[in-house]
Amino acid sequence: MELIVGPRTRVTPFTDRAAAAGMTKAMVYNHTVLPIGTDDPSAEYRALTQAAAIWDVGCERQVQIAGADAHRLVTYLCARDLRDLPVGVARYAPMCDHDGRLVNDPMALRIDETTFWLSIADSDVLLWARAVAGEGGYNVEVTEPDVWPLAIQGPRATDVVAAALGEWVRDIRFFRFVRHDHRPQGGSDEDCIPLVVCRSGWSGQDGFELFLMDGTKGEQLWDLLWEAGEPFGLGVGAPNNPERIESFLLSFGGDTDPDTDPDEAGIGRFVSLDDVDGGGSGHDFIGKAALQARRASGRQRRLVGLVIEGDPPSPLRSPRSVQSPEGHPVGTLRALARSPRFNANIGLALLDPPWFEPDTELQVSVDSTNRTATTTSLPFNLD
């Protein structure tokens, strides 16, 4: 079967360039095409970890919340305290439903005093935010603007972006951003490429995300970076599964199931519940009481690392049962890769208590062979 893309499944302003640069595999994410691999995964990993890689992540859609009540709504939607979020700063901000289950794990960006972007993972936050805004009578507009992130990641990423946009980008700190119109040499106002330049990205490497604010200029932006990156070994890439498992960045909807809460997903440190017992003013957010109850229950599962013996695995098509040594199901394997860095097979598994304790020996079937799998805390530390 061939996957057909139509109006409901968007392409991005970068899709054709990514394909021309060698992307042969794609997925659908946020109803948008996400290039996911070339025919040479080793070269992709090498570019990302030793030089720089350019990724079409236009699928990371922005849900824009603007208006007089925008800050109040964003604060209520996100489990991380964003009451003091300054303009020009981004924060990783899990969102929960009323039962404390993860709805999404976006980056929240404060664009100006009354405009926020939720740069979302793969779920329909537009619907969720509109429903909460409507039910609560918030004075906001919730829209999906013409904004398309393009990522440059890797140890030379800053050199690439500095060569393309200017040396000033080196001063942007992690999770900070600057609104910038790039004027091509000899260009006029109409030739400017409107950008939000943010130091962020879904890898453990340094890098930037350029949020293109005009979808007609995607190929211009791609070409600018591609040429600037040539001296630094820039290669085409995509969100890199082995590297993101090594560095542990959560893949919402991949590593999580519909009932997973932020603690279980390993991102509990980005949830602001601490002020409850400390007598702080406490920010109110959706799912807060439920999360407190979950923490008190002792029944939470935990996403942990697995080190799995045997030959390098083929890609994981669906979650797989993990068993105790006696053969009882104790959770599911949700991500799997051969790690070049650790020279081992590594996975992420969502496990019941007490099986997630470090150094627990379990079993999992991979490529039709039963393997021993040993739990380890995240992020992996096997060097």
- Of the candidate residues 48, 65, 107, 157, the single one contacting ligand THG (CB under 6 A): 107
Stretch touching ligand THG by CB under 6 A, among 104-112, 124-132, 163-171, 186-194: 104-112
d(CA 299, CA 287): 17
Q: Judged by CB, which is closer to ligand THG: 240, or 375?
A: 240
Question: How far is Cα 64 from Cα 119, in angstroms, rounded to an integer?
Answer: 9
| 129 burial level (CB within 10 Å; 0-12, 13-18, 19+) | buried
Element (H, E) at 130: helix 125-136
By the 8 A CB rule, do 255 and 249 touch? Answer: no
* Tokens (6 digits) for 287: 């799912």
**Residues composing the chain:** 383
Binding window for ligand THG (CB under 6 A); candidates: 14-22, 63-71, 113-121, 345-353: 113-121
Nearer to ligand THG, 201 or 237 (CB): 201
Single out the residue of 32, 41, 51, 60 in contact with ligand THG (rule: CB under 6 A): 60
Residue 132 near residue 95 (C-beta atoms within 8 A):
no
120 binds ligand THG (CB under 6 A): yes
Assess contact for 276 and 292: CB atoms under 8 A: yes
Among 181, 212, 209, 178, CA closest to 92? 209
Told to check if 126 binds ligand THG by CB under 6 A, we report: no
With contact defined as beta carbons under 8 Å apart, do 111 and 89 qualify?
Answer: no
- From residue 7 to residue 26, what is the string marking binding to ligand THG with x (rule CB under 6 A)? --------------------
What whole-number distance in Å separates Cα of residue 306 and Cα of residue 329? 15
Out of 209, 243, 246, 261, which residue is the one contacting ligand THG (CB under 6 A)? 209
Q: If binding is defined by CB under 6 A, does position 148 make contact with ligand THG?
A: no
Residue 44 interacts with ligand THG (CB under 6 A)? no
Q: Does 121 bind ligand THG (CB under 6 A)?
A: yes
According to the binding rule CB under 6 A, does residue 119 interact with ligand THG? Answer: yes
Interaction of residue 53 with ligand THG, rule CB under 6 A = no
Contacts with ligand THG, 62-91, as mask; x by CB under 6 A: -----------------------------x
Q: Which stretch binds ligand THG (CB under 6 A): 115-123, 188-196, 308-316, 368-376?
A: 115-123
**Of 133 and 212, CB closest to ligand THG:** 212
CA separation for the pair 32, 9 (Å, rounded): 5
Which residue, 92 or 138, is less far from ligand THG as judged by CB? 92
Q: Kindly state whether residue 56 participates in binding ligand THG, applying the rule CB under 6 A.
A: no
Q: Residue 272 or residue 360: which is nearer to ligand THG going by CB?
A: 272
Among 82, 96, 250, 286, binds ligand THG (CB under 6 A): 250
Secondary structure letter of residue 10 according to DSSP: B
CA 97 from centroid of its chain's CA atoms: 19
- Residue among 62 and 360 whose Cβ is closer to ligand THG: 62
CB of 312 to ligand THG, least distance (A): 26
Q: Are residues 165 and 180 in contact, defined by beta-carbon separation less than 8 angstroms?
A: yes
107: phi then psi, degrees, rounded to nearest 5: -90, 130
Contact 65, 140 (CB under 8 A): yes
Residue located via tokens 């053969």: 327
Report the SS3 class of residue 203: coil
According to CB under 6 A, which residues from 163 to 202 bind ligand THG? 175, 200-202
In the complex, the residues that contact ligand THG under the rule CB under 6 A are 60, 91-92, 105-107, 119-121, 149, 175, 200-202, 209, 249-250
